[in-house]
Amino acid sequence: MIKVGIVGGTGYTGVELLRLLATHPMVEVCAVTSRAEKGLRVDSVYPSLRGFNDLCFVEPSIDQLVGCDLVFFATPNATAMHMAVELLDKGVKLIDLSADFRLKDVAVWEQWYGAKHVCAELLEQAVYGLPETNRELIKTANLVANPGCYPTATQLGFLPLIKANVIDSSLLIADAKSGVSGAGRSASVVGLMSESGESFKAYGVPGHRHLPEITQQLTSVSSTPVSLTFTPHLVPMIRGIHATLYAPLLDQGVDLQALFETYYADEPFVDVLPAGAHPDTGDVRGTNRCQIAVHRPQGGNMVTVLSVIDNLVKGASGQALHNMNIMFGFDETAGLNQVGFYP
């Protein structure tokens, strides 16, 4: 049994962590922080947790968290880095769901996130928490940088092709769509139903913060240079990411279906669908699963991969729990065996 704390317990990823941890057999949640809701019971803010969590929100401080074995940061970017060094020095392991430790190059991080990184020395130490590529490093990590939601769906779709060297990695295209929960819980005009409902639009076309993260990670497993065109879109749904990925084939004779099935044969949270299938975000809603289908339209020289996840689970909190399970030697699927919501 381990004790965990959650910094930022009132956002979507924070409450999703609380939902998933509520039935985890090896975890006691001992601290949940929120400046805005300090002093209120967690289950008064989130009645869905009645009977599962009787804690009160506390101020985010080292004193409140030092008794934990692990702390999750479900906070905005440029927050975790202000507490990371002191907590690590006190022997507390960290999983950061923000972008503070995902990029290895501090200059690139500061360029894309518009802030001064206050503990750049930790960037090299941080382990990127995509279990499907970094499982062995995660096992011994003290600081895990949980991947972004778009990067998770995109990487899982491209990885088998890049590792097998069967595509031209200099001409990758990711056309990705996300539900509005990806923007977080803070009030904004773009998140209003009257703004996002009955509408569909691209954003961040000149450059999105997840682009350097995806490129960095794909480059780390590629034997050739990687160049990616990444275009995110906002769609009028609450949860879900659908990434449609394109790449030119170098090997016209490769059995794409067999390649994907073999690559993910032992991965508990990646489901390669039968040939000809079209995954639906609704089928993974509420789960830590990524469903993938691979196509070769008209038998041509392009491969199209369809990759879907729940952005709040496999794209955030569920993946964070998967990383926790690996770090502490638990069954990797503990707390993560949910069946998708339907309808």
Which residues are identified as catalytic? 149
Run of H or E residues at 245: strand 241-248
Largest distance between two CA atoms of the chain = 63
Q: Judge contact between 71 and 5, C-beta under 8 A.
A: yes
Q: Are strands 172-178 and 228-234 parallel, antiparallel or unpaired?
A: parallel
Q: Judge contact between 320 and 72, C-beta under 8 A.
A: yes
Residues 301, 168: Cα–Cα separation, whole Å: 11
Residues 12, 21: Cα–Cα separation, whole Å: 14
Neighbouring residues of 223: CB distance < 8 A, sequence distance ≥ 6: 165
Residues 336, 73: Cα–Cα separation, whole Å: 19
In the numeric block, the tokens 């995110």 are attached to 232
Residues 16, 14: Cα–Cα separation, whole Å: 5
Closest among 47, 76, 53 to 5, alpha carbons compared = 53
Tokens in use for 26? 């090896």
Across 37-56, b (16+ Cβ under 10 Å) vs e yields beeeebbebbeebeeebebb
Listed as own residue / partner, the contacts of 47-54 with beta carbons closer than 8 Å and 24 or more positions apart are: 48/19, 49/15, 49/18, 49/19, 49/22, 52/18, 52/22, 52/23, 53/18, 53/22, 53/29
